[in-house]
């Protein structure tokens, strides 16, 4: 992820995204996969604004613990305010500042796709996870995106620019192999589809467009006129009743071997 990508503005947009019904549903699915128990020690890597940590802390209780790690200081500050019962550390997923065998559960959502060396992060997850622990990872394959547009070439150009901050926008395709190489056995896989039939204002597609606005503003090869045409195109699609946004995310459950 580019240095400073999650500044204060992007962090606020991330907070709004986390509050959408789509992301609330995603957190419920992740919690189902985590199958947390009271007293467990959990590590949430890429913990963001702390909403997921707060949900997990409500399950593991006072006898357990939830530790969040994030590279972005604005996210750490947000998480500490939102989940005062958790412990939040700014750090690098590829060099975790924790002892071996420290956690019963490790989870990471929308993290590995941003890392230049996801294998190093997976090895670190394996190191800090207890031998009988479990790992749950969620990531997106942006090649699965269906976002209806009257000008598909303009949409394709916009999405090529939008995914530039990702080190690997298609990571789930190779994650099974990478987990195995890091010392994990994959025990389950599930597809989670984010599907919006209207453009907002409180759904994932609407907030994705908000992120796009910030990214396109900094892109030399996407002009203000391009952005205006993209917005007009989406408005026309919605007014015609043809709006559709569909994106697949993938959840992997794994255990150390």
* Distance between CA atoms of residues 108 and 239, nearest Å: 38
Q: Kindly report the number of other CB atoms within 10 A of residue 129's CB atom.
A: 24
Residue partners of 110: CB distance under 8 A and separation at least 6: 46, 138, 139, 140
Between residues 141 and 8, the one the model is more confident about: 141
**pLDDT the model gives residue 11:** 55
What torsion do the CA atoms of 91, 1, 139, 163 make, to the nearest 10 degrees?
170
How far apart CA 74 and CA 6 sit, in angstroms, is 7
Least trusted range by pLDDT, from 9-18, 83-92, 149-158: 9-18
Q: What percentage of the chain carries pLDDT values higher than 70?
A: 94
Question: Which domains are present in the chain?
Answer: 8-256 (3.40.50.150)
CB 26 within 8 A of CB 4: no
Q: How many CB atoms lie within 10 A of CB 80?
A: 14
């Amino acid at each position: 992820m580019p240095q400073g990508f999650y500044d204060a503005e992007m962090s606020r947009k991330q907070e709004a995204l986390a509050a959408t019904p789509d992301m609330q549903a995603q957190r419920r699915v992740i919690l189902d996969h985590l199958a947390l128990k009271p007293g467990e020690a959990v590590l949430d890597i890429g913990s963001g604004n702390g909403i997921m940590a707060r949900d997990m802390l409500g399950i593991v209780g006072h006898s357990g613990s939830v530790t969040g790690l994030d590279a972005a200081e604005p996210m750490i500050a947000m998480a500490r305010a939102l989940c005062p019962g958790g412990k939040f550390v700014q750090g690098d997923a590829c060099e975790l500042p924790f002892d071996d065998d420290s956690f019963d559960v490790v989870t990471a959502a929308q993290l590995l796709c941003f890392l230049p060396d996801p294998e190093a992060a997976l090895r670190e997850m394996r190191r800090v996870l207890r031998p009988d622990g479990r790992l749950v990872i969620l990531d997106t394959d942006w090649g699965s995106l269906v976002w209806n547009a009257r000008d598909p070439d303009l949409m394709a150009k916009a999405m090529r620019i939008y995914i530039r901050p990702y080190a690997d926008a298609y990571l789930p395709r190779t994650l099974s192999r990478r987990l195995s190489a890091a010392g994990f056995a994959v025990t389950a896989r599930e597809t989670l589809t984010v599907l919006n039939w209207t453009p907002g204002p409180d759904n994932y597609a609407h907030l994705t467009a908000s992120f796009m606005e910030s990214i396109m503003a900094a892109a030399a090869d996407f002009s203000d006129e391009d952005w205006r045409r993209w917005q007009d195109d989406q408005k026309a699609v919605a007014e015609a009743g043809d709006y559709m946004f569909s994106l697949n995310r993938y959840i992997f459950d794994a255990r150390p071997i």
